[in-house]
């Protein structure tokens, strides 16, 4: 069957080919880079919530992120396969729902709670994998998940936790982000990752821009004061980080990817400490230690599995 022809659902759901240790390390580094960029760009997203409608903001930055990839796709613009288009469009729709519900929620909750609830995708990835894909994770996966969740809570939530309307929107975003991670685990190893990322970014951007006039109002004043957040997060958060995620998940399993990307909260705290002179409390430091401990457990699990497979 040719590369551009259709496939059965069984073919699409086939397990990804095995990866070498070098490929796994390379994939992990891309995911770490994505978390690093997201951690540094979180402040810009918070500032945009005060001046730009969520759909216009995300539509503009994802469209810009797609344009950032064009120079790297100059020789690949012809010959998109049906699988690349389908996977990119589906990923774009899921990301559209995730980033817009997250941005809506950010307007009505605190940055700390939004960071913690968004990070719960590290829980939803193994949970959805067990419920939907019938792949129950190993015990050590759940141990690492509990540690990471506890670390996210200590790192992000500083006062009594109360669940509000804005938090509900962010929780929906966390579930959608988990679905996105699982989707990329299926498709990223089987297609050209830059083409997949381009279609994902462009479809998310255009869909968000299409919905914007029906769901919100963005004034020229808001655009004038928030354009730099679009430029910054469009080029870095989307053009680089979301693309790094797609590239990294070509070689990293879904749970490992979710755990590595949860370091976004750690990097955000570190950048706040380095650049904004924000202090790290003992509680936050303990949270960072728990997240790093979860990563160590995940690596032990991966190493043990690789040894048993050889």
Number of residues in the chain: 310
- For 78-113, the pLDDT digits (tens) are 778 889 999 999 999 999 999 999 888 887 876 667
Confidence band, pLDDT 50/70/90 cuts, at residue 182: very high
What's the pLDDT at 38? 87
Residue 152 scores a pLDDT above 70: yes
Mean pLDDT for 199-225 is: 85
- Looking at residue 67, its pLDDT comes to 95
* Mean per-residue pLDDT, 144-167: 78
User: What is the reported pLDDT for 15?
Assistant: 41
Using 50, 70 and 90 to split pLDDT, how confident is the model at 6? very low
- On the question of pLDDT at 69 being above 70, the answer is yes
Give the residue, 198 or 253, on which the prediction is more confident: 198
Structural domain boundaries in the chain: 19-309
The average confidence (pLDDT) of the chain is: 80
Other Cβ atoms closer than 10 A to 61: 31
What is the spatial distance between Cα 278 and Cα 254, in angstroms, rounded to a whole number?
Answer: 33
**196 or 150, greater pLDDT:** 196
**Cα separations (Å) of 256 from 28, 83, 108, 305?**
8, 25, 31, 13
pLDDT in tens, 227-285: 888 888 899 999 999 999 999 999 888 888 888 898 887 887 777 677 666 677 788 78
Task: Give pLDDT, residue 212.
Answer: 92
Residue 7: pLDDT over 60? no
Indicate yes or no: pTM above 0.75: yes
Half-sphere exposure of 309 (CA within 13 A, CB side): 10
Q: Is 51 helix (H, G, I), strand (E, B) or coil?
A: coil
**What confidence score (pLDDT) does residue 52 get?**
80
User: What count of Cα atoms within 13 Å lies in the side-chain half-sphere of residue 174?
Assistant: 25
Residue with tokens 């960029």: 37
């Amino acid at each position: 069957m040719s590369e551009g022809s259709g496939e059965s659902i069984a073919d699409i759901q086939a397990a990804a080919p095995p990866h070498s240790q070098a490929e796994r390390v390379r994939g992990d580094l891309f995911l770490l880079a994505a978390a690093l960029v997201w951690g540094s760009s979180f402040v810009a997203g918070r500032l945009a919530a005060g001046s730009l409608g969520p759909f216009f903001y995300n539509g503009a930055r994802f469209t810009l992120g797609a344009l950032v990839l064009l120079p790297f796709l100059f020789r690949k613009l012809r010959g998109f396969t049906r699988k690349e288009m389908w996977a990119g469009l589906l990923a774009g729709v899921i990301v559209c729902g995730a980033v817009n519900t997250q941005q809506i929620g950010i307007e009505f909750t605190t940055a700390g709670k939004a960071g913690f609830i968004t990070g719960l995708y590290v829980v939803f990835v193994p949970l959805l994998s067990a419920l939907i894909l019938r792949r129950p994770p190993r015990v050590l996966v759940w141990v690492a998940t509990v540690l990471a969740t506890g670390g996210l809570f200590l790192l992000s939530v500083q006062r009594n936790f109360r669940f509000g309307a804005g938090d509900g929107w962010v929780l929906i975003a966390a579930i959608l982000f988990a679905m996105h991670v699982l989707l990329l685990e299926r498709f990223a190893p089987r297609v050209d990752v830059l083409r997949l990322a381009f279609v994902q970014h462009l479809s998310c951007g255009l869909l968000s821009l299409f919905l914007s006039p029906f769901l919100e109002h963005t004034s020229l004043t808001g655009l004038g004061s928030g354009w730099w957040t679009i430029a910054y997060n469009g080029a870095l958060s989307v053009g680089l980080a979301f693309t790094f995620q797609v590239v990294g998940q070509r070689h990293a399993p879904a749970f490992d990817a979710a755990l590595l990307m949860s370091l976004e909260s750690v990097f955000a705290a570190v950048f706040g400490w380095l650049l904004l002179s924000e202090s790290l409390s003992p509680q936050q430091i303990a949270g960072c230690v728990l997240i790093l401990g979860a990563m160590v457990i995940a690596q032990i699990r991966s190493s043990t599995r690789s040894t048993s497979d050889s």
